[in-house]
Structure 1
Amino acid sequence: MTGLFFDQALLPQGWTHAVRIVVDGGRIVSIGSGRPAEPGDERHRIGLPGICNLHSHAFQRGMAGLAELREASADSFWTWRDVMYRFVGRMTADDIEVVAAQAYVEMLEAGFTRVGEFHYIHHDVSGEPYDNPGELAERVAAAAEVSGIGLTLLPVFYAHAGFGGRSPDPGQRRFVNNVDGFLRLIDASRRAVAGQDGAVVGLAPHSLRAVTPDELKEVVALAMDGPIHIHVAEQTGEVEDCIAWSGQRPLQWLFDHAPVDRRWCLIHATHATPAEIHAVADCGAVAGLCPVTEANLGDGTFSAQEFIGRSGIFGVGTDSNVLIGLTDELRQLEYSQRLALKARNVMASGDTISTGRALFDSALCGGSQALGVTKAGLTEGAFADIVSLDAESVALAGRAGDAILDSWIFGTGRSLVDCVWARGRKVVKDGRHLGRETVAPRFRRVIEGLLSA
């Protein structure tokens, strides 16, 4: 057993002083407060629950910054996607594993303790299936294992290049499957994570443009009680194409044709009408927001104020991994709302007047639901996913309680994460991942090789 003592920690009931957490077998077995530390306890000033990163394409960490060159008179998501296709078209299985490990190391250093890997690379560089359909799922699982991050693996069903079953483009050759092939992929994905404590396997129809209605129905039926994630209404072009195909907007079509409920995480949902916002909130699905990527790609701004006004549930993800930072995602979410509404402290609501606390609590709740975590936060029986902050930082001088979160999210340009435990395993110390010195050089060699090819 391991004893961790925090001068103050954020428990489900709120900020609590003199908190002692006992960890055994990767889980929190007891929490006490108001008593002194015991001999042998590891002592820290500030304790927080780790947060789930609900949407990641880990391989894209390797291309961060490479798409910041204007290539057309109207640069857009679609021109960015061409850069991504070229990059992934060169990556070997080894490359994908190394880049994923680097991304996961950085996530842990940022305070994310579980990742939802929206995993859509399945075949080799030629587009031919591997002999083992789970080859790349196993590489993702290996990267999660070496980094220590908790994994919710979301194998992606991707069959078409556009609405109405359009044939896939050459750049999508590594992604595509039919339903029978996808069933084999799910089975292989479950085997890939079988040895990892707490690993979850869900599934992800990529988007309405990548599946037909019949395929969507078949794929969703495979999920059972597991998480279901889908990209939806991210781009205005996607909305227009969906209307041209079906006469309905993407979210409207999805609610009319799929059993959307609490299992679902609707990634982006950027371009939603008020009626669609209400439908997402009312069904209990999670809005999977990726504010940094959505800003980087010029997607637009989710109607978050209206959504939380309906008690909607949201979490955050790093998506393209152009920048990996928990506070960056939360801050960008709030600032996007301030710019759109010309107001301040938009995401604070109800009895929670601290914007930082409101953002943090929502990300904890929504991320956990989206990734199939049944117990979230610092509570007995939950996985010991714990983050300590650097209380010596000048950004936290004189702060206590919710002011810590406000200052961490809005008042510093660097991460204040000191230590991180993921499923009880200490993986970050003094702000650096314990495996960084092994992982980073491998990442550097892979990227140098890809960019010189």
Structure 2
Amino acid sequence: MMNIFASRAYLSDGWSNDVRLTLDGTEITAIASNATPQTGDTRVDTLLPALSNLHSHSFQRAMAGMTEFREKGRESFWTWRTLMYAFLDHLTPDHISAIAALAFMEMQKAGYAAVGEFHYIHNAAGGTKYDDPAELSSRIIKAAQDTGIGLTHLPVLYSYGDIGGKPLAGGQLRFGNSVDEFAALVDRCKTLVRDMPNDTAVGIAPHSLRATTPADLAQILGQTPDGPIHIHIAEQTAEVDAVQATLGARPVEWLLDHADVNDRWCLIHATHMSDAETTAMAHSGAVAGLCPVTEANLGDGIFNGKSYLNAGGAFGVGTDSNVNISLTEELRLFEYSQRLHHRARNVLAPEGGSTGTTLYTQAAKGGAQALARNNGEIAVGKLADLVAINSNDQRLCALPPSQLFDGLVFGANDSVVTDVWSAGRHNVQKGRHIQEDAILERYRHAIKDLTSRIRDV
């Protein structure tokens, strides 16, 4: 049994003062407002529900800063992808372990309690199969165990090099699996997580309409009657054009017409949608998996945020390429992209509502849905996924509770985070991760080895 006392907390029905929570280890079992702290309580300033990071490729954390130079001609997602494939040639299982642990630690320090790891490296360089098909998935799962972050593991089905069933080539060979191989991989991952905390989950992630075929997608969906389903879709205009030319419809339109897209689904990016697609996706019950920092870094485009939210669509945020792991920056950039597009302010808030509160609370609920995780609010029976912030920080101290979310999203940054719990695991304490020194040392050793391999080529 554990108790947390907060000077204030944002509960499922709003702000409350002098809040004392009781945890049974993983879940919240009691909440008392206007309470008195007791000896042994963990005391914090302001307690919020912690968000889930719904989309991550943890290995790309080690690439941050490596692709910010201009190649000859027009730079785009596709030139970035070429560099990413070259980077893949040198990653070992030990590198992947160390990089994932660093990324997961940084996510928690930013205020995320859980992550959806969209994991698509399955093979050795050149496509050679490991003896254990889940060799690299096991490294991700172990990194989650070592850091204490909540994990929804999402093995990726990636069978083809491009739309129309083109063969894999180059760096893509590390991703490749047939449908049968993929089904065996998912089963193996489900076995591996049996020794993990019970808030761990396994879903599936058909990579995109580019990397699978309609027949393969239908087969794997038929074999997966439950659990989360994530897919990259409509990230780039070239992708939209290619899918339309090959399948006869735009990506989101095609998917909604050919799959039972419902609340199990998370459609990552969905950047380039028509008005009809935007409304239909919002009504489907799926979550839009938005990654504003990565989408801006890659020059993807701007999501139809205003019309999507007006249609009642659910969304969450993810760190995707992990070029800059920042919860506040993801939320801030989502709103700012809409302001730039519409040349207006407070675009995503309902009339008379707080933009920061809207962004934070809706992302919390959307992330919970996308990861099939029982979190997203502070309430009895929910997982103890909690984040504490210091409202006495100079960037927040002028604000009443009703404006703290606005201050957090637009005026502060993740450095105001003091404590984070993932299903009751108190991994971040007073601004530091409890395994921080060991994780950093291991990462520095791994990155030194990795960069020396790249330079020697």
The answer as to 2:3 corresponding to 1:6 is no
Aligned match of 2:266: 265
Q: Does the 8 A contact of 2:365 with 2:375 survive in 1?
A: no
Q: Which residue of 1 aligns with 2:106?
A: 106
Q: Secondary structure at the match of 1:395?
A: coil
Deviation for aligned residue 1:25: 2.3
Instruction: Using structure 2 for the length normalisation, give the TM-score.
Output: 0.97
Q: What does 1:48-59 correspond to in 2, within 5 Å?
A: 48-59=48-59
In the other structure, the counterpart of 1:420 is: 420
**Aligned partner of 2:348: which letter?**
M
1:238 corresponding residue in structure 2: 239
CA offsets per residue over residues 248-299 of structure 1, 9 Å max, x none?
1111111111111111000000000010001111110000000000000000
| 1:386 and 1:422 in contact (8 A); partners too | yes
TM-aligned CA deviation for residue 375 of structure 1 = 4.4
CA contact (8 A) 2:110 2:327 kept: yes
**Mapping for residues 30-45 of structure 1, pairs under 5 Å:** 30-45=30-45
Cα deviation, residue 338, structure 1 = 0.3
What is the CA–CA distance in structure 2 between the aligned matches of 1:451 and 1:292, rounded to whole Å? 25
1:116-135 matches, within 5 Å, as 116-135=116-135
- Could you tell me how far 1:374 is from its partner in structure 2? 3.5
- Given that 2:64 and 2:322 are in contact with CA atoms closer than 8 Å, whether structure 1 keeps it comes out as yes
Residue 356 of structure 1, CA deviation: 0.5
Distance change (3 Å), C-alpha of 1:167 and 1:382: same
TM-score, length basis structure 1: 0.98
For the 8 Å contact 1:168–1:176, the answer to whether it is kept is: yes
Q: Distance in 2 between matches of 1:72 and 1:223?
A: 44
* TM-superposed deviation, 1:414: 4.8
After TM superposition, list the pairs within 5 Å mapping 1:75-154 onto structure 2.
75-154=75-154
Amino acid of the structure 2 residue aligned with 1:269: A
Match status 1:339 vs 2:377: no
How many residue pairs are counted as aligned between the two chains? 452
Kindly report which structure 2 residues correspond to 1:182-201, keeping only aligned pairs within 5 A, or say none: 182-197=182-197, 198-201=199-202
Helix, strand or coil at the partner of 2:257:
helix
In structure 2, how many angstroms separate the alpha carbons of the residues matched to 1:159 and 1:194? 27
**Aligned match of 2:387:** 387
The answer on whether the counterparts of 1:51 and 1:111 sit within 8 Å (CA) in structure 2 is yes
Deviation string for 1:398-447 (max 9, x for gaps)?
32323111111111245210011111111111211111110011111211
SS at match of 1:172: helix
Distance 1:72 1:280 in 2: 38
Q: Provide the rounded CA distance (Å) in 2 between the counterparts of 1:396 and 1:25.
A: 31
Distance apart, 1:203 and its partner CA: 0.1
User: Which residue is 1:253 aligned to?
Assistant: 254
What is the CA–CA distance in structure 1 between the aligned matches of 2:174 and 2:232, rounded to whole Å? Answer: 18
| 1:147-166 → structure 2 map (5 Å cutoff) | 147-166=147-166
Q: Which runs of 4+ in 1 moved over 3 A?
A: none
CA distance in 2, matches of 1:358, 1:104: 26
Judge conservation of contact 1:231–1:268 (CA < 8 Å) in 2. Answer: yes
Matched AA of 2:201: V
1:356–1:402 contact (8 Å) kept in structure 2: no
What letter matches 1:116 in structure 2?
A: G
Tell me, what secondary structure is at the counterpart of 1:396?
Answer: coil
Q: Secondary structure at the match of 1:193?
A: helix
Alpha-carbon distance, 1:350 to partner = 4.8
- Secondary structure of the residue that 2:167 maps to in structure 1? coil
CA shift digits 1:44-81 (9 cap, x unpaired) = 11001110000000000011110101113101000100
SS of residue paired to 2:78: helix
Q: What is the Cα deviation at residue 392 of structure 1?
A: 2.7
Whether the 8 Å contact between 2:126 and 2:170 is mirrored in structure 1 is no
Q: What's the offset of the Cα at 1:18?
A: 1.1
Identity of aligned residues (%): 48
RMSD value over aligned CA atoms? 1.1
Distance (whole Å) between structure 2 residues aligned to residue 107 and residue 387 of structure 1: 12
Is residue 375–residue 381 contact of structure 1 (8 Å, CA) maintained in 2? no
Deviations 1:82-120 (A, max 9, x none): 111111221111110110000000000000000000010
Whether the aligned pair in 2 keeps the contact of 1:76 and 1:297 (CA below 8 Å) is: yes
Q: Which amino acid aligns with 2:113?
A: T
- Where structure 2 has 5 or more consecutive residues not aligned to the other structure, the ranges are none
Tell me the secondary structure at the aligned position of residue 22 of structure 1.
Answer: strand
From the superposition, tell whether residues 188 and 449 of structure 1 become closer, same or farther in structure 2 (CA, over 3 Å). same
Name whichever of 262-271 and 403-412 sits farther off.
403-412
1:377 positional shift: 1.5
**Corresponding position of 1:406:** 406
